[in-house]
Chain A
Amino acid sequence: MNSDEIKAKLADYLAKDILRQPGRTIQPDEALLTSGLIDSFHLVDLALFVEDNFGVHIDDSELNASTFDSLNGLIALIQSRQ
């Protein structure tokens, strides 16, 4: 999967399932964690989604803004493990 495909899939999941605003666009560099768009209740969901859909594992200690805070950061993390 190339980065555009990963991005589309992640953005769709975040808007629909986490933000519950299906039409909401998420910019690739938009802050996700520090902005509160994704709060700590949803970090595990995101890790499970990434693992199920992209076949890579994010450790629970990595679920914080210093590992990734945007779609771009998350995509880089996924690609570095594929």
Chain B
Amino acid sequence: MPNFSSLLKNHYDSSPDKISVTILHGGQPDRPVTYRELIHGAAGYVETFSQNGIRPGDVVLLILQHGIDLLYAYYGAILHGAIPSIMPFLTEKLLPERYRADLAALVSVTQPSAIITYRDFEAEVRGALKPGEDSVKAVITSDQVEGPRSPDFAAFGGLQRKPEDIVLLQHSSGTTGLQKGVALSHQAVINQLTDYSKAIRLSDADVFVSWLPLYHDMGLIACWLMPILLGYPLVILSPFEWIRAPYRLLQAVSKYKGTLSWLPNFAYNFCAQKIRDRDLEGVNLSSWRAISNCSEPMRWDSHQAFFERFRGLGLRYEALTTCYAMAENVFAVTQGGIGGPVVFEDVDRESLQVEKVARPSIAEKPVIRMLGAGKAIPNTAVSILDSHGHALPDRTVGEVALKSNCMLSGYYHRPDATEKAFTNGWYLTGDFGYLVDGELYITGRKKDLIIVGGKNIYPQDLELLAYEVAGVHAGRASAFGVFNDATGTEEVVMVAEVESTDPAEQQKISNMIRATVTRGSAVALRYVHIVGKHWLVKTSSGKTARAANREKFLREMVEKGQEF
């Protein structure tokens, strides 16, 4: 059974001059990195980890931007046998003290031995630590790391790691997300890569192109580990640059004859709406064979908009594919659109919403167009369960459950959370959906999670921030997501009860809520709705009933004639 290090060693031995990764940065020449350079750079990190007393099996937190340092540090940790975990970088809208609090929380749960960051970010990191009390033995800045060198694989801890050993941790952001690090074993990740590469029919002609963040499974597994460990070229740009210059993804696909990309749904709308023709001169997208829509609700309209905008550049309709994935299954659960176009169907809206049954459309009645997420990848089984854990027939909506040979080892240091996630050996995803002959359709979510642009956001984190605002009492705010068809993703709404009826005072509180939530979570609120006492719907146990508040909010917007 191979492990991550033996896979890397094979590439180094057999094709050292092959370009593994090409890093793109605006205003700089593209930076190709061969397997030799990758392993040599990573070997410098191994040496530094050894010097600092970091042992195989220790967790190493990486707080670095997309680029060569992150590449060397990540694979250096792997070769050393340590467990890398990428923590998002501080953004300009997040308050530094909040970032430090999140980091301190992450440190207390994952007990890392080392943190790797930049020199000019070191003070920020140290501000979150308690020297002598916490687990961190070393804060290593990228400029202190030993230079590239020939690897001594026999001395590296990485080759000794067993299949069942944990190889990496993945976290969602925010106070809640950071508490649940998904721990994955070598075996689980390699099983996923083996099975998923069959599902997408990976071949030697493939080139991966990605702008995705690496602290998220879609970027980390599909567009970082899969190409590098399996030996396919990867072209990578940073999410920070892509959001400001989305055309660069298309230019990169054209220049490097990219074949595979993964995008959250909003990115289809974003690219279709915000790229100027002058930035597409000479761009040819005919090499793109699978662009997998993944990690947030997928819309047929988004695929159409993307296709219509770029078909003139050689984009093929069959290239628009779909995927349903989650970190707990390493990544992919299903894949659609490979070897035939993505499946979609029109179902009767009333039956779906009221009876929870997806009936094919009935003449002249309103329909919902459902985009299929595809069929389960090899060695992953999908079932739809009712609230008692019994399997439901085709076309009946229930909770999506899965079983596979690539499940998480557990939530790191959280056996309680791990146990709760499984019922009779099935992992309960918290998503609702239905099956038709093995094709999975996702209809909604059981959990209150909000997904904006593919990023998971926990409403309770945002509500806690709103309670910090003077004039908003604890328990008197509710956050939820509302899907926006134009942007192709959810937008965050906060409803808050306040006592004041003075419009100026209400506006002030609204501004404060916006500022406090954004600076405390890096999540921008699209709408803050200030209401009077007793507006919010509570559950019988006194908790905020977010789904009910969402319905009430949407009704009010309709009554007011406001578009939402």
Enumerate chain A interface residues (CB-CB to B < 8 A): 20, 33-41, 43-45, 47-48, 60-61, 63-65
Contacts and interface: CB of A to CB of B under 8 A. Distances in A.
A40 B244 contact: yes
Nearest to B243: A40
B27 A35 contact: no
B527 interface: yes
Interface stretch (B31-39, B216-224, B514-522, B541-549): B514-522
A74 to B, nearest CB: 15
Contacts of B266: 41
The number of chain B residues touching the other chain, given as a range, is 20 to 34
B276 A36 contact: no
Given A36-B517, A65-B92, 14 more contacts: A34-B93, A35-B514, A36-B93, A36-B514, A36-B522, A36-B523, A36-B525, A37-B518, A39-B518, A41-B243, A47-B244, A48-B276, A60-B244, A61-B26
Nearest to B244: A60
A39 B524 contact: yes
The majority secondary structure among interface residues of chain A is loop
A61 B27 contact: yes
Contacts of B453: 41
B524 A36 contact: yes
Given A33-B92, A33-B93, A41 B527 contact: no
B27 to A, nearest CB: 6
B371 to A, nearest CB: 22
A41 B487 contact: yes
A77 to B, nearest CB: 15
B246 interface: yes
A34 B92 contact: yes
7 contacts: A33-B93, A36-B518, A36-B522, A37-B518, A48-B276, A60-B26, A63-B244
Contacts of B26: 60-61
Nearest to B520: A36
Contacts of B276: 48
Of B243, B246, B522, which is in contact with the most chain A CB atoms at under 10 Å from its CB? B243
